[in-house]
Structure 1
Amino acid sequence: MKTIEQLTNVEKAKIIFDLFKSEIPAFLEYAQAIADKVSNTQEELIPNWNNPFLSYHQWLSLATTVNDTVSRKRNSLVKSANVFAEQLFAGYLAIFSNHCLEQYGLHKAQSAKFARAISLFYLPVQPADNNSNQYLVLEMQGGAEYAGIVTDVDGNNRVFENREDAEAEAADCQDGLVVAI
């Protein structure tokens, strides 16, 4: 069982895909729109570029590659978690794809649960009062591509008020993973 910090970009993307498959087409459109903006607003972006790790031209290259991949493989990207994750979230492309996913989760997500999942997997952890944490348990069921949130008998997501109860539930799961929310 891996912690969230131990999951790779590809594994996180597979989980997101499997949990929120209906969001993927809109996310791909959003990623292409961001890539188009990077490409079409060079005069505006270059003078204000202040990323010390990537030049604008490196960012443009990543954006162009993601845009081309989505254009060429859209049908496969919306049908397969493996294709989605491996084509967009492996290697250096993950830098641009993760950025798009974070922005989509913050500003465009159709589902509040999707936005929370993106926040959980990708955004920095905010310090919280230990007494106010709640926990979900993900059952990996043999791999990230099969992950699901543990539910009660009525099919509702189980939310645990203390970590010990969540860890006990995770121990009863196949590859259980405790996630603070």
Structure 2
Amino acid sequence: MKPLQNMNNVEKGKLLATLFPEQLKGILNSLTEAYNFLTENEEALRSTWGNDLLTFDFWYRQAAEVADIIKRHSRALTKSSTLFADQLFDGYHAIFTIDCIVKQAASLPSLPENKRYGLAIQLLFNHYTAMP
């Protein structure tokens, strides 16, 4: 296995899916919920969006594409760590996916298994910060 600092997002996503297969449904639910939130609150979010680097349109497009991937591959994403990583952690989709995963891990109840998962998220994706 490569050193962590030499892994790309797809490799990190595959490692995450391999280490925590029980979390995959929760991750997919969080991604879908984030897209639904953007859709339901589009007007308000668009008017208050404060990130000039990643525009609301860009963010919404990534969310919509990820939601479409989940619809097309739903069960297969929880069965194949390779598919999970290739579809959700490649290119710009990774920005949206990682942001959602960081937020999802931070919101889980303080149980030992969730703490391990949260620490893994920090270890793998620490250099990413949450969006507004």
| TM bucket normalised to smaller | 0.7 to 0.9
Contact kept? 1:105, 1:119, Cα under 8 Å: no
Post-superposition CA distance 1:46-86 (Å, at most 9, x none): 12111121110111100001111111111110000000000
Amino acid at match of 1:91: G
Name which one, 1 or 2, has greater alpha-carbon Rg. 1
Higher RCO (CA < 8 A, seq sep 6+): 2
SS in 2 for 1:72: helix
Does residue 1:68 correspond to 2:68, yes or no? Answer: yes
Greater strand fraction, Structure 1 or Structure 2? 1
Q: 1:112 maps to what in 2?
A: 115
Question: What per-residue deviation string (whole Å, max 9, x for no partner) do you get for residues 18-46 of structure 1?
Answer: 00001101110111001111121012111
More helix as a share of residues: 2
- Name the CA distance, whole Å, in 2 between partners of 1:27 and 1:108: 11
RMSD: 1.6
Aligned length: 125
Which digits, 9 at most, give the CA deviation of each residue in 1:77-97, with x for residues without a partner? 000000000001001111111
Point out where structure 2 has 5 or more consecutive residues left out of the alignment.
none
- % identical equivalent positions: 30
Please say if residues 35 and 64 of structure 1, whose CA atoms lie closer than 8 Å, have aligned partners that are also in contact: yes
Q: State how far apart, in whole Å, the 2-side matches of 1:3 and 1:49 are.
A: 36
Q: Partners in 2 of 1:51 and 1:3 — Cα distance?
A: 32
State the one-letter code of the partner of 1:89.
F
Structure 1 segments, 4+ long, off by >6 Å, are: none
Q: How many angstroms does 1:124 deviate by?
A: 3.6
Gaps of 5+ in 1: 126-181
Give the TM-score taking structure 2 as reference length: 0.88
